[in-house]
A and B are shown apart, each in its own frame.
Chain A
Amino acid sequence: QQQVKQSPQSLIVQKGGISIINCAYENTAFDYFPWYQQFPGKGPALLIAIRPDVSEKKEGRFTISFNKSAKQFSLHIMDSQPGDSATYFCAATPSNTGKLIFGQGTTLQVKP
């Protein structure tokens, strides 16, 4: 039972383009939604996170859009750069449990 579904599995974007990764969840008890970025051979690192009391959060070129009624959230990477090439994971958890449920991951390649 996959509680957090992520798509696409892989994504190729030209430098300067917009990368969009989507996630959907089922458990209405989830109230913390982070995105993690992972480079080859490294552990994941927090990129940006959102709580459901806001519909959007922006940090630099990275934006999370959140649709509570549809139980969906997405990561937008504006002006994508080759250095953004990595695997991205969405996740969700009920608040203060720490029990992150991860999506399957999206491998992003940004071509120069």
Chain B
Amino acid sequence: NAGVTQTPKFQVLKTGQSMTLQCAQDMNHNSMYWYRQDPGMGLRLIYYSASEGTTDKGEVPNGYNVSRLNKREFSLRLESAAPSQTSVYFCASSDIAGITQTQYFGPGTRLLVL
């Protein structure tokens, strides 16, 4: 099992450009999440999807949109990138209906917006 995979690993954008970050999990988890990690800020939840067909805002949703394409895939879109969106983006998945609520994280996408 690959766990949680993310593409691309690294991306450079110019201000105003758009891009989609892809995430897929092969653990048959119901829930998926997008976080951003900035120095001194920890990880902050952008959007999450409790189950296929549902999405909801997290702490910092402004400037982002998401799509839960199917149970396996959850994408994050930046419509018009801004320098403030320079960050490391992590996707995670979990089975919150289970006994544990462990979230499994992908390797991250490093995004630089110039």
**In whole angstroms, how far apart are the Cα atoms of A78 and B19 in the complex?**
44
The answer to whether A46 touches B103, judged by C-beta atoms less than 8 angstroms apart, is yes
**In whole angstroms, how far apart are the Cα atoms of A44 and B102 in the complex?**
11
The answer to whether A100 touches B96, judged by C-beta atoms less than 8 angstroms apart, is no
A112 sits at the interface (CB 8 A)? no
Interface size on A, residues (CB 8 A): 25
A28 sits at the interface (CB 8 A)? no
**In whole angstroms, how far apart are the Cα atoms of A4 and B90 in the complex?**
19
**In whole angstroms, how far apart are the Cα atoms of A19 and B100 in the complex?**
26
The answer to whether B96 touches A43, judged by C-beta atoms less than 8 angstroms apart, is no
Would you call the interface of chain A mostly helix, strand, loop, or mixed?
Answer: loop
The answer to whether A99 touches B101, judged by C-beta atoms less than 8 angstroms apart, is no
Chain B residue at minimum C-beta to C-beta distance from A96: B96
Q: A43-B107, A95-B101 are in contact. List 16 more A-B contacts (CB 8 A).
A: A41-B107, A41-B108, A42-B108, A43-B4, A43-B108, A44-B90, A89-B42, A89-B43, A93-B101, A96-B97, A98-B101, A98-B103, A100-B33, A102-B42, A102-B44, A105-B40
> What are 17 sample pairs from A and B whose C-beta atoms fall under 8 A apart?
A6-B42, A41-B108, A43-B90, A43-B92, A43-B105, A43-B107, A44-B90, A46-B102, A46-B103, A49-B101, A49-B102, A89-B43, A93-B101, A96-B97, A96-B101, A98-B50, A100-B103
